[in-house]
């Protein structure tokens, strides 16, 4: 148990669906992250939030829309996804956004049909 | 951040020490060495980090060479649950949000 909880663990969606991934951290951290891990590829940083403010967006397509209502919760809203978006989506948190020690959730395995 | 080089895969017998190497010949003076691991289909897990001195915690030991151009992560008594991809990452401790995960080393612990 890392203190970072992601739901759902598995998600199958069609290309016209809208769904959301949820992440909650119980560590009192100020920074939260979304990463994408495609098959046989290294982790890619998608978004960084610090104190509920988005501080980094790494050229992620607009069909991915993050939301951070407070420092404990992070969402990734998905719409009009493509099959190549199928991947493991990981949430992480750290004490603040400069810290290299990050705590990861177990991830959401997303399949887009 | 300095580039790291790790072997793609290693095997280890259960109960023996697993020694995972990492080369980081371009490391700069204020960059730390961090190790994470990722068990299949789970999120990465922080293991240990160090600057120049050797470090030990309940999970592993980290040995950094005197010139800091390479390091070794040691799991003293590997178990089947240690089978995972191990990532060596070099960066400053408070330089920004990016953790650059490379390909890592797939460690397989055999019974």
pLDDT of residue A100: 87
Per-residue pLDDT of chain A (113 residues; tens, 9 = 90+): 779 999 999 999 998 889 999 999 999 999 999 999 998 888 999 999 988 888 888 889 999 999 999 999 999 999 999 999 999 999 999 998 888 899 999 999 999 99
Residues of chain B with pLDDT under 50: none
B→A contacts (Cβ < 8 Å), by residue, are 32, 34, 41-46, 49, 89, 91-103
Strand order through the sheet with A73-79: A4-7, A18-25, A73-79, A64-70
Contact criterion met (CB < 8 Å) for B42 and A42: no
Count CB-CB contacts under 10 A for residue A23: 27
Euclidean distance between CA atoms B109 and B11, whole angstroms: 6
Chain A and chain B share a number of CB contacts under 8 A equal to: 59
Contact criterion met (CB < 8 Å) for B46 and A101: yes
Residues 3 through 22 of chain A touching chain B, CB cutoff 8 Å? 4
From the list A42, A48, A106, which residue is nearest B42 (CB)? A106
pLDDT digits (tens, 9 = 90+) for A32-58: 999 999 988 889 999 999 888 888 888
Structure tokens at B111: 């019974």
pLDDT of residue A96: 87
Q: Kindly report the nearest CA distance between residue A97 and chain B, in angstroms.
A: 5
Tally the C-alpha atoms within 13 A of residue A15's C-alpha that lie toward its C-beta: 4
Q: Least CA distance to B37: which residue of chain A?
A: A104
Structure tokens at B108: 């397989």
Count CB-CB contacts under 10 A for residue B56: 13
Please tell me if residue A97 touches chain B, with a CB cutoff of 8 Å: yes
Which residues from A are below 8 Å from B92, CB to CB?
A: 100
pLDDT of residue A99: 83
Structure tokens at A82: 């493509």
Q: Least CA distance to A33: which residue of chain B?
A: B97
Number of H helices, E strands in chain A: 0, 11
Residues 19 through 58 of chain A touching chain B, CB cutoff 8 Å? 31, 33, 42-43, 45, 48, 50, 55-56
pLDDT of residue B83: 98
**Prior bond of A36 cis (ω within 30°):** no
From the list A2, A42, A109, which residue is nearest B103 (CB)? A42
């Amino acid at each position: 148990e890392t203190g970072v909880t992601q739901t759902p663990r598995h998600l199958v969606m069609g290309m016209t669906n809208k769904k959301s991934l949820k992440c909650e951290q119980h560590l009192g951290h100020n920074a939260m992250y979304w990463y994408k891990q495609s098959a046989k590829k290294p982790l890619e940083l998608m978004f960084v939030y610090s104190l509920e403010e988005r501080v980094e967006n790494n050229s992620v397509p607009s069909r991915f829309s993050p939301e951070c209502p407070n420092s404990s919760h992070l969402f990734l809203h998905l719409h009009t996804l493509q099959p190549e978006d199928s991947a493991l989506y990981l949430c992480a948190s750290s004490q603040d956004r400069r810290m290299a020690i990050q705590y990861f959730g177990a991830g959401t395995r997303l399949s887009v049909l | 951040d300095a580039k790291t080089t790790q072997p793609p895969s290693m095997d280890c017998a259960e109960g023996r020490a697993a020694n995972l190497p990492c080369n980081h010949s371009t490391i700069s003076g204020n960059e730390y060495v961090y190790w994470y691991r990722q068990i299949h289909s789970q999120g990465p897990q922080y293991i240990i980090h160090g600057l120049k001195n050797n470090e030990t915690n309940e999970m592993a030991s980290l040995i950094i060479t005197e010139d800091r151009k390479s390091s070794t992560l040691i799991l003293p008594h590997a178990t089947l649950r240690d089978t995972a991809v191990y990532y060596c990452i070099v960066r400053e401790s408070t330089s920004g949000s990016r953790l650059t995960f490379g390909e890592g080393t797939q460690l397989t612990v055999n019974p």
